[in-house]
Chains A and B, each alone.
Chain A
């Protein structure tokens, strides 16, 4: 039986009728065609599907979409401003070589955003902790850490 959920998606109020078994990732990718959020494992282990719910990171592949009812969801598509300008974290990722194949990048950027929103001047250790749930096979993480540090103005 379908149910109605209301939530804010990238700043826009959204009302949808969904099947209760749908995951947030399925809702975003398959139903709303917001394919910037990636599925790397489908089991909440790799972080490629990271989105922000009320500012906190979640693995959208294991979160029932029903859970976001009444909440605010930010995906990678919502990170650029209305004019399409990049977020400072995105700029830093580009500038510091934090992107190789790019599959982990949307989730990684959002984990970085959640971290910096909570802790504007993190240490290297805190950055590593903040992105520990996001796997990356290409970069060895070091340029990602450098980028997040730079984005924090340090």
Chain B
């Protein structure tokens, strides 16, 4: 294998020193001259008519500079379905509905002003169960929303989630074994330690600067530009500047009411306006993971080959539509392509309710679907009398395969992952003891080479090199803590022939940075990495061209390694990079080294049937777990946790392990402890005391196993790894619990109460 200077090294994150010293500037720390503080009044009812709003007292409070309601703002619409507005008029549809907003000189004054706003409501019947909301005659959340062939008013969204491959009914008839189950998954919160916030600022000419923590700077810029147009500010410019982001995990893939409210308040007051969420707001007014009711059937032949997979899902969309409603498009990936399954049918309905609305969250629907699929693989294997390890091996995906969704699998390390997990758990020895200890495994597929969700899956990079060999890599990518800046620097440095410490990465400003569709779909290492590599290649060509003149060599005979340009024929003939750069700048008719590259992978949009090669390559993995279940308390303890991932190549093993540790920990929370409890539309546990995120004492020792398949399309062979760690966690744990005590829990989280109830039921 080629010897690398930067790639494959455990290089510390470039921004770590700023962060451990408290010097990194988060949105919380940003203060502009004359800045006002915005606060939002939310609805106390899940579904109600607004009869009247009286803001007169609030307006008179000293320090209050503006009060806005849904009745005095322009008709800005946002959200995936454009069914949401920054402040609601006439009616509220959930308890996170924004009814009024205040800007004041001090956050306490703004808070006090909210208390002075009088809103009279007329309560309407509310819906909290999507299956109820689907029924004929159910109250309507959005009266104007119509669906179906007859265009009748309905709560069911017009989203055509339907994937059919092969003949499921025929395959079912011919199956030796068929398992049929109903699984349920609920809301969980991203729990970014840094709460949401922004600062909106207009200049004299009404151009907007938005200080933001978005994961989608280019798309957010477009959303804000559209909002300005609706505000009558046509052709005005929007600049998005990202502060340090206190965690993302998908939560910042959309634009939200609070951002538009800050823009409206800033415009009205002509002052910068900051809105910063409290932890309570973060819990009830941001969008959690999409819940789902999953009806699933799978069948197999006598010798354990999967024959079909048939899934019907109902998704609680909540009152408005963000990316949660599109999670079925990603659920299709494991449904069609996790293990070899020739016949697939998947139909999902998203239904408006008066609950909170959901958003992308690490894995984007994949953990939900994989929980059902890979829990049921164990059920089916047991019916067929086959060890689930052998069952998975028999059906494992392989390189060169084309899946029912037309995914072209090139590199695929799934068998290696299953195999190493089995070894680490000593599978044959430890399986089937039923003595309170048990082992289980589950696998995953995810996009590993970008995902063409939009028309483009592209990312741009600009590289310029200064007099002294400092390489500025200006990327469209977003580092929200995962370390993409460092990985991009390593890739660019490797391609150029410099060291990572020579590289400065800029990613924070849409006035400077090239376009990118955002930090989603585990695409940054792959797409932004390939983009950076492409720009580095071009910059290097320019550099060798200049060096060739100075050194009296032809460019093709030159190369650069470790900051030195040398002749490939005569390695003694060399020149330090800085000298060549200065020669370029200080020579008459000189030049500068600057290159740009836009990389848009050769993946495909899904077609009308939701088929197509969504990603250039796919990331596979298997998690294995050993648990001990206390039969008296129902408590599940994880004794061993193995996370094997086909990562293509680890550009930075330390940061990669960080993604696996963090992803798996989030997944364990999803499996065992975390849930946002909604009662009649109200979030009952909007704090860290009642929302059980894992602490340092709860997290087991996770052993990451890196399987390198050196993907031919990846930058230096790499695939994405941001999301995979949190995908197969819940089914692996559920399977281990079954192995330990013989109870199968089909709804998350698997709390001690549920385990205990199931044990009681079993022992009846």
Contact = CB atoms under 8 A, between A and B. Distances in A.
B191 A137 contact: yes
B661 A46 contact: no
B21 A36 contact: yes
Nearest to A40: B193
Nearest to A147: B20
Contact of A101 (B192, B195, B696): B192
A135 B674 CA distance: 14
Interface of A: 29, 34-43, 45-46, 48, 75-77, 79-80, 86, 90, 93-97, 99-106, 109, 127-129, 131-145
Nearest to A106: B22
12 contacts: A36-B23, A39-B28, A45-B279, A46-B688, A94-B17, A105-B19, A106-B21, A132-B697, A137-B190, A139-B658, A140-B699, A141-B695
B186 to A, nearest CB: 19
B52 interface: no
Given A101-B481, A103-B247, A35 B22 contact: yes
B16 interface: yes
A35 B20 CA distance: 12
B702 interface: yes
Contacts of B697: 128-129, 132
Q: Pick the most buried of A29, A46, A95: most chain B CB atoms within 10 A of its CB.
A: A46
A79 to B, nearest CB: 7
A42 B20 contact: no
Given A42-B279, A86-B17, A105-B20, A97 B696 contact: no
Contacts of A136: 193, 696
Contacts of A102: 15-16, 18-20, 24, 244, 246, 481
Contacts of A76: 20-22
Contacts of B1: none
Given A40-B193, A101-B193, A94 B28 contact: no
Nearest to B479: A101
Q: Pick the most buried of B23, B29, B658, B663: most chain A CB atoms within 10 A of its CB.
A: B658
B634 to A, nearest CB: 23
B654 interface: yes
B335 interface: no
Nearest to A79: B21
B500 to A, nearest CB: 14
B588 interface: no
Contacts of B483: 100
Contacts of B195: 40
Contacts of A35: 22, 25, 28-29
A109 B24 CA distance: 15
A138 B247 contact: yes
Contacts of A75: 22
Nearest to B190: A137
Nearest to A41: B279
In the A-B complex, list the 6 residue pairs whose CB atoms are closest, starting with the nearest: A36-B22, A101-B481, A102-B19, A140-B665, A140-B661, A76-B22
B693 A86 contact: no
Given A45-B688, A105-B20, A100 B662 contact: yes
Interface string B194-207: 11000000000000
B455 to A, nearest CB: 30
A103 B194 contact: yes
Contacts of A34: 22
B13 A97 contact: yes
Given A40-B279, A42-B278, A138 B662 contact: yes
Contacts of B10: 97
Nearest to A125: B697
B622 interface: no
Contacts of B480: 101
A35 B693 CA distance: 25
Given A106-B20, A140-B665, A45 B687 contact: yes
Contact of B194 (A101, A133, A140): A101
A45 B661 CA distance: 23
B125 interface: no
Contacts, number: 177
Contact of A132 (B17, B23, B28, B696): B696
Interface in B225-248: 244-248
Contacts of B662: 100, 137-140
B22 A94 contact: no
B249 interface: yes
Given A137-B693, A140-B662, A145-B696, A93 B194 contact: no
A35 B28 CA distance: 8
B193 A94 contact: no
B528 interface: no
A14 to B, nearest CB: 18
Given A39-B28, A46-B688, A137-B191, A97 B20 contact: no
B482 interface: yes
B661 A143 contact: yes
A42 B280 CA distance: 10
A42 B665 CA distance: 24
Contacts of B21: 36, 76-77, 79-80, 86, 90, 106
Contacts of B664: 140
Contacts of B246: 38, 101-103
B655 interface: yes
Contact of B20 (A37, A39, A94, A142): A94
B689 A93 contact: no
Contacts of A103: 26, 192-194, 246-247
B245 A97 contact: no
B661 A142 contact: yes
Contact of A90 (B20, B25, B244, B278): B20
B222 to A, nearest CB: 25
A135 to B, nearest CB: 6
Contacts of A38: 22, 26, 28, 193-194, 246
Nearest to B667: A140
Interface string B49-62: 00000000000000
A134 B24 CA distance: 19
Contacts of B147: none
Given A40-B194, A138-B481, A99 B688 contact: no
A141 B702 CA distance: 10
Contacts of A134: 696
A29 B25 CA distance: 12
Contacts of B706: none
Nearest to B660: A140
Contacts of B19: 99, 101-102, 105-106
Given A134-B696, A138-B193, 15 more contacts: A29-B29, A42-B278, A94-B13, A94-B16, A97-B13, A97-B657, A97-B658, A103-B247, A106-B21, A127-B696, A132-B697, A139-B665, A140-B663, A140-B665, A145-B696
Contacts of A140: 658, 661-666, 694, 699, 702
A46 B17 CA distance: 22
B29 A99 contact: no
A86 to B, nearest CB: 7
Contacts of A133: 695
Contacts of B696: 127-129, 131-132, 134, 136, 141, 144-145
Contacts of A93: 16, 20
B12 interface: yes
B701 interface: yes
Nearest to A109: B20
B20 A100 contact: no
Nearest to B245: A101
Contacts of A144: 696
Q: Pick the most buried of A100, A105, A131: most chain B CB atoms within 10 A of its CB.
A: A100
Contacts of A138: 193, 247, 481-482, 658, 662
Interface in B662-683: 662-666
Contacts of A97: 10, 12-13, 654-655, 657-658
A45 B655 contact: no
